[in-house]
Amino acid sequence: ERMVRVESANGNVHYYEGEQGAERMVRMELADGSVQSFEGERGAERKVRSVFADGEVQHYEGERGAERFVRGEFADGTMEHFEGERGAE
């Protein structure tokens, strides 16, 4: 048996992939309708994208705990690009 999904009391749902004992989180659906995507091995999963209910998409780069916001895409087609360390984008 391997873990594939965890449903939290607060309405968040976490999705996992991988072999038993090496499951890694790949997606989190939040109660507010937003979805976060993750990449990386178990214990090193890092956020790479957030999609919000209003259509905004945020892209991230960097290792777990040091992800930095690099691009925002809005429903009207506007794109914003950012440089700099986490918190100083």
Give the Cα separation of 49 and 11 in Å (integer). 20
For 51, other C-beta atoms within 10 Å of its C-beta total 16
Q: pTM above the 0.85 mark?
A: yes
pLDDT per residue of the chain (89 residues) written in tens, 0 to 9: 999 999 999 999 999 999 999 999 999 999 999 999 999 999 999 999 999 999 999 999 999 999 999 999 999 999 999 998 887 77
Burial 12-38 (b: 16+ CB within 10 A, else e): eebbbeeeeeeebbbebbbeeebbbbb
Give the Cα separation of 22 and 9 in Å (integer). 24
